[in-house]
Amino acid sequence: MSGPQAGGVFTALRTQLQKAATEFAGGPDALEGILLGMVDDVDRAVREPLEIFPVCHHSPASALAMARRLREKQPKVVYLELCEDMAPLLTELRNCRLPVAVQAFAGDIDGFPQEWAPLSVVAPITEASAEYQAIAYALDTPGVELVLVDRSSDHVFQWDNSPRAEGTSTEAEEEPKSEEAALHGEAVGVEIGDLRPRFAELEEHLLRHGKVRHWSEWWHQYVEVPLGDSDHDTYRQVMFLIGSLFRRLAPGDGDRVRVDEDRERYMWTRMREHMAATGTDPEECLYVCGAFHAASRVEEFGVAGRSDSFTISPRTATTWQYGLIPSSHAAIEAQFGLAPGSVSIAATQWQKSLKRTRVQPYRLEGQAGARSRAKKALPAAAPAVPAPAADRLSGFLQQPPVLDGLDEAELLGWSVDIVRAARRNGYLASTADVIAVFETSILLAGMRDRARPTPYDFQDAAVTCIEKDRVPGRRDVRRLVEIMMGGDRIGQVGYEALPPLARDVYDRLEPLGLKLQQRGVQRALLDMAGRPGLEACSDVLWMLRRLMPAAAARPIMGERRLGERSIQESWDLALGTHQRALIELGYEGVSIEQVLEQRLRREAYGSRATTAGVLAAVEDSLLYLRSGRLADELGTHALKVLSAERTVDGAPEVLRRARTLLAYYRTSRPELPGWIQSFVKTGYAHYCTLLPTAFRDEDATVGQVAAMLGFLFSMESLALSLGCDRTQLELAVAQSHPEDPSKKALLWAAQVQLGTLTRAELRARSDALLDNPLVVPSYPRYLNGFVHALEPVPGLADVVVEAVSNAFGHLPDTVLLPWLPLLITTLRKGAADLAPLLIREAGRIFPGRLPALDTWVPPWRQPQLEDPFAASRTRRTATAAPAPHGAVLLAAHPAACDAVAGLLGCKDGWQQDGTSALPAGGAGAAPLAAHPATCDAVAGLLRCDEGWATADHAGAPGAALTARHPAAAEALEVLLAGA
């Protein structure tokens, strides 16, 4: 196979290609250089002492040729093109069901831009791949060493300026990724044998002249099938030639060419280092790499290549985690740009080739579906001297294509199966469609110069004959053909190969009695009242709900809120379907509690953390971890974040979460934690400072300003008890001068709450807006502010209902009708919690029955009910009697005084003192003088807050009650007058 005598093996081929290039191009030109250069690349690779085995990823022909060569050569060292840092994980493949992907994951990065995080590299492995055959051979054969020689996962990102560029392609149509196609997430794919033209014109030319739709079909028809039964030398030379062709016709992308050449230098450097360290003979080694890299032209190529021209850069300080994640045929196709169904077709072709050739493949001991067999040691006899390589390439290129005969039984079986599957999925297919699909497949194959229909021909025929005009079910015919041809096989990582966190989760959920490693959705019922031990399972499920995708653990019944615990819960669990997400959690810690705490800290201490986000982390720490220590730490950090914020964007969320935490601490602890007290005190001063600016800021919405006022008013009592000064809020409101109508209405509501504006004045301002024709078009914006004002001042609900009612009664249709959608969206989005308050108040004010509406008078149309004491207060003001205030009241209403005197047990009559009629003596007022607390209590019931009268009533002891509380006397006056 190798040796210096092979130098002239391809002389005849060179001569033929030179003549063909001269005749085709009319003379020596670039074409001759390309053709002869390709032969030189093949000659150089064939003569290399270290046998190079070129492969194409997920190619049944490559896997079949690899299995044959391994049994024939029995190498002692296998060099494999795969990230060298993934080597320790390959032994865990025996605990998995293929396809799976070897993954390197880094959540916390050091040495790369932070926006790249997290970093992930995957290398998918299927049974019908040459690398799996090499791995299974090396791991299960005693005395064989497997050495991974490709760049490390760290170097994958070091050498690429665009970390998401590798592994992307434009092969398939742009379609939304299915759940199975997203198994690899956003990971960068690393594969062996990236054989696809990088020259767009070349690929288009091959597809057009090959009469195929996509590259996968061209490769299957013109490479996969012809090489399926070829010998080892022919296979190698053809793959070398294809790799050289695609390499020489690649476009001048400098970054990609540099990365490719550095990878080749890296691999040859590692192989020479290993052979020098172990003294391994190159004749006993096998180098498995992609055909694109096999025809390399770098100076470091070969055992005798240069060793001093390339220096491997050190890795960064990034800590990498390694594991196995489930993969699928759809995920491989989506990540590497293969045609949908091509990997499934390759798997079916692999099984057919094994039956046809009777080649025994290698499978890892203990693998799912593998038969146990005794390990065999390498033969003791020395390997035979390899024979010189012959020119097999010329014969392969000159031979006519082998036309396989039509296998009518196979095609008929396909046609019957697809019609049966179509009927199960809602298509109106019949026996006539079986015949139509059969004949159309043969017709399409003939039009494409193929004697035997390929699976792709059959797929096109099935779509044409069965899928008439619409898809009645969830799957179209193309997808049904893919399933029928082998389906989207989805791998699974075994329990023993899982990281400690994933095993811990499965162990802790074992009391549920479910097979959680299986794919699909399973229903879990938790009765914590009957089985208290299930509370631990509930805790795990709620943490998984917080950490994993929503569909992995979805609660159907039950909820978890601060201060509340469910006694029964129902869950839909799909942990087997989302096994990749669970495995990646294991890269972050050894338990879900540790991972959750780390994520909460990362969210709270991140550079983009907000006060609302930190309070959310505090709430989650109490909700899921029940960790007061962590909550206090994060809450203290929330103070720093709040003090540094200069905007009010998060004010609504801050208000909601602060109220929730405050209510929780008040009901669960004897006293408030120090951090929540400091937060309220700091927030009060902080929002007072920002309030004038927020009223003027056009970017600050009315909802955000309302949330600020809500924080100030709802937390005011606690803030004042902690030492805050209400004057600061009054000054902030006085300094606010908004121009936006909605914010003006909000400011008026704040003034009412502070007492600087009465409700009557607020109503008057609202009515004045409706009376001004220039303001009427903007009146809905004032109403928007009134609605949001219910957040800080819920007591204004009746005023808001009155304002809305007046708007419906006075606004013209041209203004009212366009405003109605705005009102509905405002209530739905920004004031959903305020709508019940408005509805409740409207239900209290408006009549409950429709007939009563005709005679109903709104309360705001009844001015006499606005202030029941107005008439009495007017009379009292107009009275200029020189007698004491209380004596005048008693003289004006002697019957009321007699009634009160009777209740108090006073039997003395009236006496005359000047112009006032006073009771004879002062005995009647003795109980009032002896028990002043009673007077205070009566005044409190009557809501009299005026306090003590300043006049001296020593000469009128009978008027002690009225002198002490004149407003109480007024109330009694009105009540008695009404009676």
Q: What is the DSSP letter of 922?
A: S
Beta bridge mates, 189: 122
Residue, of 36 and 671, whose pLDDT is higher: 671
Q: What mean pLDDT comes out for the span 294-304?
A: 82
Q: What mean pLDDT comes out for the span 383-401?
A: 60
Could you tell me if 477 and 467 are in contact, meaning their C-beta atoms sit under 8 angstroms apart? yes
pTM here is 0.68
Given a cut of 90, whether residue 542 has pLDDT beyond it is: yes
* pLDDT at site 967: 53
The region of weakest confidence among 336-350, 724-738, 954-968 is: 954-968
Q: Of 293-297, 663-667, 880-884, 926-930, which one has max mean pLDDT?
A: 663-667
Q: How far is CA 160 from CA 97, 107, 153, 199, 268, in A?
A: 32, 18, 11, 21, 20
Could you tell me if 291 and 193 are in contact, meaning their C-beta atoms sit under 8 angstroms apart? yes
Given a cut of 60, whether residue 1 has pLDDT beyond it is: no
Residue 526 has phi, psi (to 5 degrees) of -120, 115
Q: How far is CA 649 from CA 97, 513, 906, in A?
A: 50, 47, 67
Given a cut of 70, whether residue 377 has pLDDT beyond it is: no
The region of weakest confidence among 328-332, 373-377, 539-543, 810-814 is: 373-377
Q: What mean pLDDT comes out for the span 389-413?
A: 68
The tokens for 176 are: 């939304």
CA distance 517 to 418: 31
Nearest to 294 by CA among 612, 42, 121, 31: 42
CA distance 887 to 883: 6
Question: Taking CA 689 as the corner, what is the angle to CA 687 and CA 694, rounded to the nearest 5 degrees?
Answer: 70
* pLDDT at site 873: 42
Residue, of 400 and 757, whose pLDDT is higher: 757
Radius of gyration of the chain (CA): 43
* pLDDT at site 618: 93
Interval 858-868: pLDDT, tens = 777 775 444 44
The tokens for 790 are: 């219910």
Q: What mean pLDDT comes out for the span 426-439?
A: 87
Q: How far is CA 617 from CA 403, 542, 559, 660, 674, in A?
A: 67, 15, 18, 13, 18
Alpha-carbon 910 to chain mean position? 86
- Residues with Cβ < 8 Å from 464, sequence gap 6 or more? 440
For 122, the 3-state DSSP assignment is strand
Residue, of 307 and 567, whose pLDDT is higher: 567
Could you tell me if 153 and 323 are in contact, meaning their C-beta atoms sit under 8 angstroms apart? no
Given a cut of 60, whether residue 788 has pLDDT beyond it is: yes
Residue, of 755 and 400, whose pLDDT is higher: 755
- For strands 188-189 and 119-125, give the pairing: parallel
Q: What mean pLDDT comes out for the span 779-807?
A: 85
Please, where are the H alpha helices in 509-590? 534-547, 579-586
CA distance 277 to 967: 105
Quickly state the pLDDT bin for 16 (edges 50, 70, 90): low
Could you tell me if 214 and 221 are in contact, meaning their C-beta atoms sit under 8 angstroms apart? no
The region of weakest confidence among 8-12, 41-45, 731-735, 739-743 is: 8-12
Could you tell me if 461 and 470 are in contact, meaning their C-beta atoms sit under 8 angstroms apart? no
The secondary structure of the chain in percent helix, strand, coil, rounded to multiples of 5, reads 55, 10, 35
Alpha-carbon 409 to chain mean position? 49
- Residues with Cβ < 8 Å from 706, sequence gap 6 or more? 746, 788, 789, 791, 792
The region of weakest confidence among 3-17, 355-369, 781-795 is: 3-17
Given a cut of 90, whether residue 541 has pLDDT beyond it is: yes
Given a cut of 90, whether residue 794 has pLDDT beyond it is: no
Could you tell me if 569 and 528 are in contact, meaning their C-beta atoms sit under 8 angstroms apart? yes
For 794, the 3-state DSSP assignment is helix
* pLDDT at site 853: 76
Quickly state the pLDDT bin for 943 (edges 50, 70, 90): low
Quickly state the pLDDT bin for 957 (edges 50, 70, 90): very low
Q: How far is CA 107 from CA 117, 321, 598, in A?
A: 6, 9, 11
> What share of the chain has pLDDT > 70, as a percent?
76
Quickly state the pLDDT bin for 2 (edges 50, 70, 90): very low
CA distance 959 to 495: 91
Could you tell me if 292 and 239 are in contact, meaning their C-beta atoms sit under 8 angstroms apart? no
Interval 606-664: pLDDT, tens = 888 899 999 999 999 999 988 889 999 999 999 999 988 888 888 889 999 999 999 99
* pLDDT at site 692: 92
Nearest to 600 by CA among 565, 575, 635: 635
DSSP string, 362-395: ---TT-TTPPP----PPPSSPPPPPPPP---HHH
Residue, of 379 and 300, whose pLDDT is higher: 300
Q: Which amino acid is at 940?
A: G
Q: What mean pLDDT comes out for the span 326-340?
A: 80
DSSP string, 72-116: HH--SEEEEEEEGGGGGGGGGGGGEESSEEEEEEESS-SSS-GGG
* pLDDT at site 617: 93
DSSP string, 384-450: PPPPPP---HHHHHHSPPP-PPP-HHHHHHHHHHHHHHHHHTT----HHHHHHHHHHHHHHHHHTT-
Q: What mean pLDDT comes out for the span 514-525?
A: 89
What integer best gives the mean pLDDT of the chain? 78
Could you tell me if 481 and 341 are in contact, meaning their C-beta atoms sit under 8 angstroms apart? yes
* pLDDT at site 670: 87
Interval 456-501: pLDDT, tens = 888 888 888 888 777 777 778 888 887 777 666 788 888 888 888 9
Nearest to 364 by CA among 133, 522, 622: 133
Q: What is the DSSP letter of 152?
A: P
The tokens for 337 are: 């740009």
Interval 652-690: pLDDT, tens = 899 999 999 999 998 888 888 999 999 999 999 999 999
Which residue do the tokens 């000047």 mark? 914
- Residues with Cβ < 8 Å from 804, sequence gap 6 or more? 783, 786, 838
Quickly state the pLDDT bin for 369 (edges 50, 70, 90): low
- Residues with Cβ < 8 Å from 94, sequence gap 6 or more? 139, 364, 365, 366, 367
Q: What is the DSSP letter of 561?
A: B
The region of weakest confidence among 109-113, 766-770, 956-960 is: 956-960
Order the strands of the 522-527 sheet from edge to edge: 522-527, 568-573, 553-557
Residue, of 202 and 758, whose pLDDT is higher: 758
